[in-house]
Amino acid sequence: MTPEIRFDNRVAIVTGAGGGLGRTYAIELAARGAAVVVNDLGGSFDGQGSSTSMADQVVAEIVAAGGKAVASYDSVATSTGGEAIVRTALDAYGRVDVLVSNAGTLRNAAIDELPDATLDAMIDVHLKGGFNVTRPALRQMKKQAYGRIVLASSAAGVFGNQEQAAYGAAKAGLIGLMNVLSLEGAAFGVKANALLPTAMSRMSAGMNEKALQEFGALYGALGDKLGNTPEPSFVMPLAVYLCSEACDSTHGIYSASLGRYARVFTSVGAGWVGPRTAAASVEEVAAHWAQVCEKQGAAEVGSLMGEFELIAAQLQAR
């Protein structure tokens, strides 16, 4: 029987925890013993305005259920805000064991019609937001020689989604942050992973209408097989497990979508090994294009050096 996953004596920060996915993470972490910093700016799904009510409501729910929680209303979009969020945890509970960088907003636009303001907003809250909370949290985790960091990326960035170039690019950038974070944190007991969650939440109001129609057409024929899986609660189990001491994974990308949980891999094909003394010509690359694109024999790569090691092994085998 699998032991119960607990967070007793652990302190967790969940950004964007005033509603949707973040709320489910915060409530479950608290129910399992964590003291939680519930961070939320309290604005609309597209990042407009602010309010203390969203974070306060989740804190009240946690406390009413016998858990521990404090609110943070700071914005992840600035380094000052990120520092303040982590300081809230340290002032209230003295440590930071878990960080779920989940805060986000959504604004859609075709690439050639994308305003600078939308591009800046998506990069600030998603990509810079990840950095802004991760840096101060990592400093504390290194002192403790323990930490778990989950960065909320998106399938829109890893796989693509129309009219979400700014959102997708910012979310995909978090994969790069996670890749390096997992390497730099390894010696200090800090594990980092990226999550690709999909759920119907208030941000769904900003989704492309055509995409929502296609989703409905694709899954409408499944009837009861879809069940309630679009709800945020179906993403929560994977997110919370990645936060736990029981989870040994690091440097991973994980998808939680419609009740299906899966690892997403970054791999490199065997490719074509060109000449050694002079660079291949453009025509030679064209002649070997099918080999360059061949998927069979692909290998997972865990770092830049890992790809060099893979190439070295190929050369040794020649």
Please calculate the CA angle 164-166-200 and round it to the nearest 5 degrees. 45
Q: Which amino acid is at 153?
A: S
Question: pLDDT tens digits for 161-180?
Answer: 999 999 999 999 999 999 99
pLDDT value for 273? 96
Cα→Cα distances 27→88, 150, 151, 175, 258, Å: 18, 16, 18, 26, 20
How many other CB atoms are found less than 10 A from the CB of residue 44?
Answer: 15
Do residues 274 and 162 share a domain? Answer: no
Residue 212 lies in a domain: yes
Residue 99 DSSP one-character state: E
| Euclidean distance between CA atoms 137 and 73, whole angstroms | 17
Q: What is the pLDDT of residue 205?
A: 53
Q: Please check whether residues 49 and 74 belong to one and the same domain.
A: yes
**Number of Cβ within a 10 Å radius of residue 80:** 11
Residue 206 pLDDT > 60, yes or no?
Answer: no
Give the structural domain span for 313.
267-317
Does position 214 have pLDDT exceeding 80, yes or no?
no
Question: Is 167 among the residues known to form the active site?
Answer: yes
The contacts of residue 108 (CB under 8 Å, 6+ apart) are 163, 164, 167, 206, 207, 208
Q: pLDDT per residue over 26-77, tens digit each?
A: 999 999 999 999 999 986 555 565 689 999 999 999 999 999 999 999 999 9
What is the total count of domains within the chain? 2
Q: How far apart are CA 56 and CA 68, in angstroms?
A: 13
pLDDT for 217 = 73
∠ CA 247-249-254, rounded to 5°: 105
pLDDT at 234 over 70: yes
Residue 284 falls inside a structural domain: yes
Q: Say if residue 182 is in the same domain as residue 113.
A: yes
Q: Are 125 and 171 in contact (CB under 8 A)?
A: no
Q: Is the pLDDT of residue 211 over 70?
A: no
Residue 200 counted as domain residue = yes
Residues 236 and 311 in one domain: no
Q: Flag whether 100 is in a domain.
A: yes
Rg of the chain on CA atoms, in Å: 21
Nearest to residue 82, comparing CAs of 139, 28, 121? 139
Q: Are residues 252 and 281 part of one domain? A: no
If asked whether residues 108 and 221 sit together in one domain, one would say yes
Task: Give tens-digit pLDDT for 256-283.
Answer: 999 999 999 999 999 999 999 999 999 9
Are the beta carbons of 99 and 13 closer than 8 angstroms?
yes
Distance CA 243, CA 245 (A): 7
Would you say 91 and 35 are in contact if contact means Cβ atoms under 8 Å apart? no
Say if CB 108 and CB 167 are below 8 A apart: yes
**Catalytic annotation, pick one of 146, 167, 219, 241:** 167
